[in-house]
Chain A
Amino acid sequence: MNETAITAYKDPKLPPPVDLPEGPEWVGVLKVFDAHVAETLVAAAHTLYPHQTLPERVYRRTVVAFDALAARMPAVAQGFAEFVDLVDGAMPVPFRELSESYRVNTLKGIEATPAFRLVQRSTVRFLYDDLEVWQAFGYEGAAVQLGGYVDRGFNDLDWLPEPPPGI
């Protein structure tokens, strides 16, 4: 991969990322979801956005964010529960135990449902808002606390001709 050294920052005013235990006990932080719901949603997030270079914990943090939403909004909690029922009902094997092609087909089969939409949109919302994902894909995040980019590379692209001054 084309690595340039960058460091990603969250705005210092925002809460720091959640620190999850590495083992299956990570589900202990959840307020609404049980372990099966949580692991099924992790599997779904992974199937929707299968980044080979990202560790499992970023998908778990995404589901922790779903859980926080569900805790605030009962209708959303209901939507996640419906999603798990839908994907688990599609095959004789629970969704989280399916092979990848079956998971993909299962998700394709429910694309038109509100429950799918909720999970897909929520995954985009939270997965790509994760500091570790920013770091991996080259997005530096908050900059004002470092004086912006005026002296830190806002115009450092050097593989195209330099535009004339004042253009």
Chain B
Amino acid sequence: MMTSYDLDDAGVVVIVGSGAGGGTLAHELAKRGVEVVLLEAGKHLTPDDFVNDEWGGYEMLSWLDKRTASGTWRAAKDHPFSPSWSCQVVGGTTTHWSACCYRFIEDELRAKTVYGDIAGASLIDWPITLDELNPYYDLAEAKMGVTRTNGLPGLPANNNFKVMHAGAKALGLNVSTGRHAINSIPYDGRPATIQDGFTITGDKTGSRWSTLNVEIPRALATGKLELRPQSRVVQVEHDEAGKASAVVYVDAAGVTHRQKARAVVLAGNCVETSRLLLHSKSARFPDGLANGWGHVGRHYLRHIIQTVWSIFDKPVHMHRGEIMAGMIDDYVRHDPARGFAGGYYIEMNSMGLPTTAAFLEPGWWGRDFVSVIEQYRNMAGIFMSGEDMPQPGNRITLTDELDAFGVPVANIHYDDHPNDLKLRVHGYKTLSAIHAAAGAKRSIEAPSYPASHNLGSNRMAAKAEDGVLDGHGRAWEVPNLFIADGSTFATGGACNPTLTIVALAIRQADFMAERMAAGEL
């Protein structure tokens, strides 16, 4: 029997969202003896529910509620009602992710100092250093079973990797299969990958780490966690002292509840966390909770993500095997000689026919498209994740339209910064050159798909006037309100964010448990 807590129990920590940040924090707090209620909007699925089917999995796992988009980014044109891509299910987007795990480098945590003043960019340095973060990266890699750490071998080379490898070697680049929270050999009670190529529809065998298959069951086993799936939080309330006191949520039957709390942690993935804060207005916080400095929702980041798909003379069968098992790190470091700030990781990408067709170039039709997609079997994919510039105007706001729960629909505004565009061009050229060096007949520069790395919109900062949170993810203005998702990032760095989200959540658990023990939280 799962532990259960009373709605009026004001001794519990309430966490909203069970993904990378929230699911990890729930486990780390429960392990430290803290009583936790975890509220998750989505259902609690099991591996048996998952399917090996791209659209079937997408529809089962994704956050499909309407959002709107504006600005110069392609998402506003291509995906105007689903500009951001995340999940609504126990485990959050860790049920869906492809598990690339890289660490920030020192320069990225000091972006303002290292990159200097860039017109239009609202860069800051992180309030924490790599030295402070490294021990938590170690813990995160161990719990996630990241390949090439803790004695775990890398994932084996698959077909798509052979293409990337041949091209990279011809150009003298440093290429490997990279690091992933996917078992190359059995680890931590989870099996080795069977290379089915479907981590993104749930991963039926559980070879990939998720909070659904690792953190949440272990948190439940401590007897300190109550998980309430299908519980949609609509508001965070505060008491007269300005401290978070309760969250209001709607259950699967449509009934509204109020869960009291000793501390509240939001981990709803960037857009939802900013939306909740903006919506939680009161006389004391007229612009939304923790928004006294006006930073909630601003400096939204989504990385420079793009894929090049190329056609070769012979079959590749890119869909066979783990989808992102390749990495080139030659362009990660900031190098002003390239003419832009920040860097990018080159990684691999593969998709099945259904989503390749959908994302190749949304809107493209006619004989030319047909001649490309007919050669699916001979296609390879290569991908990049690079740093985008924070801008105050790139932001999540509330529209006038209400959703089914009475909460305003979010709009995401994003204008590409000139630095972003320079990095994009450099990246496309590099990706295409790698495939050309492996013998590509034709390469297609696919635009970004909906934002999968959602970051920064409630950022940490060393000073209250520069952000929403302090270096422990605690709201400057509300001392018992925390954020544990990717929205806390002070700047985006280049690498895929989840390893850092997990490391920060473990660090936050240490901090919270310490404060509680000291009677200060």
Q: Is A18 an interface residue (CB 8 A)?
A: no
Cβ contacts under 8 Å, A155 to chain B: 156-159, 162, 321
One digit per residue, 1 when the CB lies within 8 angstroms of any chain B CB and 0 when it does not, for chain A 127-167 equals 11100011011111111110111101111110111110011
Q: Is A118 an interface residue (CB 8 A)?
A: no
Cβ contacts under 8 Å, A2 to chain B: 314-315, 377-378
Q: Is B401 an interface residue (CB 8 A)?
A: no
Cβ contacts under 8 Å, B357 to chain A: 124, 127-128
Q: Identify the interface centre among A11, A48, A104, A161: most chain B CB within 10 Å of its CB.
A: A11
A16 to chain B, nearest CB (A): 13
The docked-state distance in angstroms from the alpha carbon of A161 to that of B170 is 11
In contact, A139 and B377 (Cβ under 8 angstroms) = yes
The docked-state distance in angstroms from the alpha carbon of A150 to that of B314 is 21
The docked-state distance in angstroms from the alpha carbon of A124 to that of B166 is 32
One digit per residue, 1 when the CB lies within 8 angstroms of any chain A CB and 0 when it does not, for chain B 49-61 equals 0011111100000
The docked-state distance in angstroms from the alpha carbon of A160 to that of B157 is 12
Cβ contacts under 8 Å, B316 to chain A: 157
The docked-state distance in angstroms from the alpha carbon of A118 to that of B309 is 25
In contact, B53 and A14 (Cβ under 8 angstroms) = yes
In contact, B157 and A167 (Cβ under 8 angstroms) = yes
Q: Identify the interface centre among A127, A134, A163: most chain B CB within 10 Å of its CB.
A: A163
In contact, B166 and A161 (Cβ under 8 angstroms) = yes
Among candidates B321, B362, B373, B438, residue contacting A160 with C-beta atoms closer than 8 Å: B438
The docked-state distance in angstroms from the alpha carbon of A123 to that of B244 is 48
Q: How many residues of A contact B (CB 8 A)?
A: 52
Q: Is B376 an interface residue (CB 8 A)?
A: yes
Stretch in B133-141, B189-197, B441-449 with 4+ CB within 8 Å of A: B189-197
A47-93 contacts to B (CB < 8 Å):
48-51, 53
Dominant secondary structure at the B interface: loop
Residue of A nearest to B365 (CB): A48
The docked-state distance in angstroms from the alpha carbon of A149 to that of B287 is 53
In contact, B365 and A120 (Cβ under 8 angstroms) = yes
A95 to chain B, nearest CB (A): 15
In contact, B363 and A142 (Cβ under 8 angstroms) = no
Q: Is A99 an interface residue (CB 8 A)?
A: no
In contact, A137 and B377 (Cβ under 8 angstroms) = yes
The docked-state distance in angstroms from the alpha carbon of A2 to that of B196 is 24
Q: Is B358 an interface residue (CB 8 A)?
A: yes
In contact, B376 and A148 (Cβ under 8 angstroms) = no
Contact A143/B51 with A160-B163, A166-B154 known, Cβ cut-off 8 Å? no
The docked-state distance in angstroms from the alpha carbon of A144 to that of B194 is 8
In contact, A160 and B166 (Cβ under 8 angstroms) = yes
The docked-state distance in angstroms from the alpha carbon of A133 to that of B195 is 23
Q: Is A125 an interface residue (CB 8 A)?
A: yes
Among candidates B55, B165, B319, residue contacting A139 with C-beta atoms closer than 8 Å: B319
In contact, B353 and A133 (Cβ under 8 angstroms) = yes
Among candidates A13, A127, A133, A159, residue contacting B51 with C-beta atoms closer than 8 Å: A13
Among candidates A53, A138, A153, A163, residue contacting B165 with C-beta atoms closer than 8 Å: A163
Residue of B nearest to A123 (CB): B365
In contact, B175 and A167 (Cβ under 8 angstroms) = yes
Residue of A nearest to B169 (CB): A161
Q: Is B177 an interface residue (CB 8 A)?
A: yes
Residue of B nearest to A157 (CB): B159
One digit per residue, 1 when the CB lies within 8 angstroms of any chain A CB and 0 when it does not, for chain B 287-323 equals 0000000000000000000000000011111011100
Among candidates A14, A137, A145, A148, residue contacting B193 with C-beta atoms closer than 8 Å: A148
Cβ contacts under 8 Å, A144 to chain B: 52, 194, 196, 198, 204-205
The docked-state distance in angstroms from the alpha carbon of A51 to that of B352 is 18
Q: Is B405 an interface residue (CB 8 A)?
A: no
Cβ contacts under 8 Å, B249 to chain A: none
Q: Identify the interface centre among B53, B320, B321: most chain A CB within 10 Å of its CB.
A: B320
The docked-state distance in angstroms from the alpha carbon of A167 to that of B325 is 11
Cβ contacts under 8 Å, A157 to chain B: 159, 162-163, 314-317
B45-82 contacts to A (CB < 8 Å):
51-56
Q: Is B366 an interface residue (CB 8 A)?
A: yes
One digit per residue, 1 when the CB lies within 8 angstroms of any chain A CB and 0 when it does not, for chain B 354-369 equals 1011100011011101
Among candidates A137, A150, A162, residue contacting B353 with C-beta atoms closer than 8 Å: A137
B418 to chain A, nearest CB (A): 28
B129-160 contacts to A (CB < 8 Å):
153-154, 156-159
Residue of A nearest to B165 (CB): A163
The docked-state distance in angstroms from the alpha carbon of A129 to that of B51 is 14
One digit per residue, 1 when the CB lies within 8 angstroms of any chain A CB and 0 when it does not, for chain B 162-200 equals 110110010000011100000000000000011111100
Cβ contacts under 8 Å, B362 to chain A: 121, 124
Among candidates B196, B205, B370, residue contacting A49 with C-beta atoms closer than 8 Å: B370
Cβ contacts under 8 Å, B209 to chain A: none
In contact, A166 and B163 (Cβ under 8 angstroms) = no
In contact, A50 and B194 (Cβ under 8 angstroms) = no
Q: Identify the interface centre among B54, B157, B204, B375: most chain A CB within 10 Å of its CB.
A: B157
In contact, B53 and A142 (Cβ under 8 angstroms) = yes
In contact, A142 and B161 (Cβ under 8 angstroms) = no
In contact, B366 and A48 (Cβ under 8 angstroms) = yes
A140 to chain B, nearest CB (A): 7
Given contacts A149-B194, A155-B159, 9 further A-B contacts (CB under 8 A): A11-B53, A14-B53, A104-B366, A121-B362, A129-B54, A141-B53, A148-B193, A149-B321, A161-B166
B interface list, Cβ under 8 A from A: 51-56, 153-154, 156-159, 161-163, 165-166, 169, 175-177, 193-198, 204-205, 313-317, 319-321, 352-354, 356-358, 362-363, 365-367, 369-370, 373-378, 438-439
Complex A-B, nearest 8 residue pairs according to Cβ-Cβ distance, in ascending order:
A138-B377, A148-B194, A148-B196, A154-B321, A142-B52, A139-B353, A128-B357, A149-B320
A selection of 18 A-B contacts at a CB cut-off of 8 Å is: A4-B317, A49-B373, A123-B365, A128-B357, A137-B377, A140-B317, A141-B53, A142-B52, A148-B193, A149-B195, A149-B321, A153-B317, A157-B159, A159-B314, A160-B439, A161-B165, A167-B154, A167-B157
A interface list, Cβ under 8 A from B: 2, 4, 6, 10-11, 13-14, 48-51, 53, 104, 107, 117, 120-121, 123-125, 127-129, 133-134, 136-145, 147-150, 152-157, 159-163, 166-167
